[in-house]
Amino acid sequence: MQRIILLVASFLMFANTAFAQNKPMEMPKGYDVVRQGVAAGKIDTISYPSKTVGNTRKALIYTPPGFSKKKKYPVLYLLHGIGGDEKEWLKGGNPQLILDNLLDEKKIEPMIVVMPNGRAMKDDRATGNIMAPDKVEAFSTFEKDLLTDLIPFIEKKYPALTDREHRAIAGLSMGGGQSLNFGLGNLDKFAWVGGFSSAPNTKKPEELMPNPEDAGKKLKLLFISCGDNDRLITFSKRTHDYLFEHDVPHVYYVEPGVHDFKVWKNGLYMFSQFLFKPVDVASLPKYTILGTPAATNVRSAQYPQILPDNRVVFRTKAPNAQKVQVDLGKKYDMEKDTAGYWSVTTDSIGEGFHYYSLLVDGVALADPASETFYGMGRMASGIEIPFRGGGYYAMRDVPHGDIRVKRYLSKASNTWREMYIYTPPGYDASTEKYPVLYLLHGGGEDQRGWANQGKTNLILDNLIAEGKAKPMLVVMMDGNMGSPMGPGSMATAGDGFLKLFESELKQGAMPYVESTFRVQADAAHRALAGLSMGGIQTLYAGAKNTDLFSSLGVFSSGWFANNAALSGPHYEFVKTNAAAINGNLKNFWISMGGEEDIAYKNCKIMLAKYDELGVKYQYSEYRGGHTWPVWRHDLFGFAQQLFK
């Protein structure tokens, strides 16, 4: 009998937990009205003495149906906006009805809800100039009033549970900012924190949470919500971005809407269902209706949208098309609605930059909602997926260098060519001469690749600001000699293409750079690196010219094992000149994107050959395949080795 009881209890506990985490994503219509047969809680006005303000203050308090002084209850403190007072939630949101209906359906725990006046001053009415400095300051003063006056009063007069695990705080707009500021600033008092459409009073994320790891351990739930057309969404978004970067579990809930009670009622509906129960942390990223428009979208385009778990929602209009797909390497079939819009939600997509195309009745097209990038031998759409470790290529408040686009008449080919050049912060104001990294793109790309897809300028800006890299110029050449070479074509090519590149490097690009920019024109202050096809070019031109370069970087590349006509002469040269190569090169840095990198096997064969020939090199591996996320990381690592 005891065994049966234990099994039933275990089942009920599992079912309750599972139910708690399987919530509807939006409050049903009519949920904030009186429903027949639903027991009603009670709203009372209370007065409490405030030593902080120096008078008696008012608040509303909701007690649930069946409230008993013999039972202890958890407490939610629910805060209003800058134009409201303790009655704003009651007048605009009907919180008591939402909570009654949730309780009736057993979706929330019975709780006390306190709705105070968050404007802690003697005349706390929402009259006159609500933006007056003293009234705005009173919202900050409320933190002390809340902690030292209101909470002790509630816990003395009501049967409230008094530990942090049974105390929550949430609010709308200005109250959302207060909730984040006060809740995250007092994690010894609150374990549950919610901000709905949080206002500009919200502290910067690094001030809200200076120790993210510690805060993540203390929080039971952090819930952030906002309407997608709310002009204040940037404050919620920056908090979410910081939390995402620092791996702090939270809900970032975006829904269609503006700065109004539709959004805030839904915030209360969603937030309250999590409270005072076990939380399935792994499920939190799924709680949202909308995603965030990708950073790579064109101005004002709402799609593609990235969901918190890095699934992507694509949407495009093609009313006359018969079949539309998204090609991200994997193809996703899109579904058509009655208005002619096609949409699909992908699997979770890996970090960083990815090319993609729309396949409309079999024809690959760029998405008109996305920025386009030259890659795959054509203009293609691209999407940037957030990455927790992507801070090294984020736009930060540090000194920034410039990307300069230069056309020059090449002495090697007698043709006009183009290069992109990164100059470090302070270049124009300085008389100093700088070292130079010549940086090469891959097949199917051109001189724009490292500047646009690779985020070279941001990587160098951040490294230089942190003192991890020397200020340097980065010259992003066009490595296509004649017709652009697509991916894989090097496998069967002869060395004519490579000879042309070597000539362009030595007789075209380098003379132009050294006659136009203030650079140190010697081997100790020159480096050469490239990805994929650019890696082959680096191997070819770099190994033969170690009197010109002190560092070589080879990213996701290696001589083709099945093309001895191309690799054989290189290995013969290296065999004869191994001592000079080892002596001249300070860095011979070779990196791969793990076993999934298409160049992995060729690279490993090449490294075994180098070992046999006694060539010294440094090997680095960063899993991610043959992709821009890997190459950004390669540049990040390689740049820190240079010119030191």
3-state secondary structure 54-82: CEEEEEEEEECCCCCCCCCECEEEEECCC
CB neighbour class for 418 (10 Å; exposed up to 12, middle 13-18, buried from 19): middle
3-state DSSP call for residue 569?
A: helix
pLDDT digits (tens, 9 = 90+) for 279-304: 999 999 999 999 999 999 999 999 99
Q: Strands 221-227 and 192-196: what pairing?
A: parallel
Token pair listed for 387: 């990455």
For residue 22, pLDDT over 60 is answered with no
Q: What is the largest CA-CA distance in the chain?
A: 94
Secondary structure (H, E, C), 449-490: HHHHCCCHHHHHHHHHHCCCCCCCEEEECCCCCCCCCCCCHH
Using CA of residue 197, residue 199, residue 202, residue 205, what is the dihedral sign? positive
The predicted structure's pLDDT at residue 71: 97
At 309-365, the pLDDT tens digits run: 999 999 999 999 999 999 999 999 999 999 999 999 999 998 889 999 999 999 999
Give the mean pLDDT of 245-259: 96
pLDDT exceeds 50 at position 549:
yes
pLDDT of residue 24: 65
Range in 59-63, 103-107, 216-220, 307-311 the model is least confident about: 307-311
| CATH architecture observed for domain 2-286 | 3-Layer(aba) Sandwich (3.40)
Residues in the chain: 644
In tens, the pLDDT along 148-207 reads: 999 999 999 999 999 999 999 999 999 999 999 999 999 999 999 999 999 999 999 999
- 425's CB contacts (< 8 A; 6+ apart) are 398, 399, 400, 401, 461, 464, 465, 471
pLDDT at 462 over 90: yes
| Whether pLDDT at 483 is above 80 | no
What is the pTM assigned to this prediction?
0.83
**Over pLDDT 90: what percentage of the chain?**
90
Query: Mean pLDDT, to the nearest integer, of 208-226?
Result: 97
- pLDDT tens-digit readout, 558-590: 998 878 888 899 999 999 999 999 999 999 999
What is the 3-state secondary structure of 521-561?
Answer: CCHHHEEEEEECHHHHHHHHHHHCCCCCCCEEEEECCCCCC
| Strand 352-360 with 378-385, pairing | antiparallel
Q: Mean pLDDT across the stretch 223-227?
A: 98
Question: Above 80 in pLDDT, residue 237?
Answer: yes
User: What is the structure's pLDDT at 491?
Assistant: 55
Chain-centre distance of CA 439, in angstroms? 26
Give the start-to-end residue ranges of the domains of the chain. 2-286, 292-385, 390-639
For the ranges 346-355, 433-442, 526-535, 583-592, the lowest mean pLDDT is seen at 346-355
- Nearby residues of 131 by Cβ (< 8 Å), 6 or more positions away: 82
Tell which CATH architecture fits domain 390-639.
3-Layer(aba) Sandwich (3.40)
pLDDT for position 23: 58
At residue 11, the pLDDT reads 33
Give pLDDT, residue 251: 97
Examine domains 2-286 and 390-639 and report if their fold is the same: yes
* Torsion of Cα atoms, 303 then 306 then 311 then 315, to 10°: 0
Residues 590, 613: Cα–Cα separation, whole Å? 16
Task: Please count the CA atoms within 13 angstroms of the CA of 110 that sit on its side-chain side.
Answer: 18
Rounded Cα gap, residues 217 and 382, in angstroms: 36
For domain 292-385, which CATH number applies: 2.40.100.10, 3.40.50.720, 2.60.40.10, 2.160.20.10? 2.60.40.10
Is the confidence at residue 399, as pLDDT, over 60?
Answer: yes
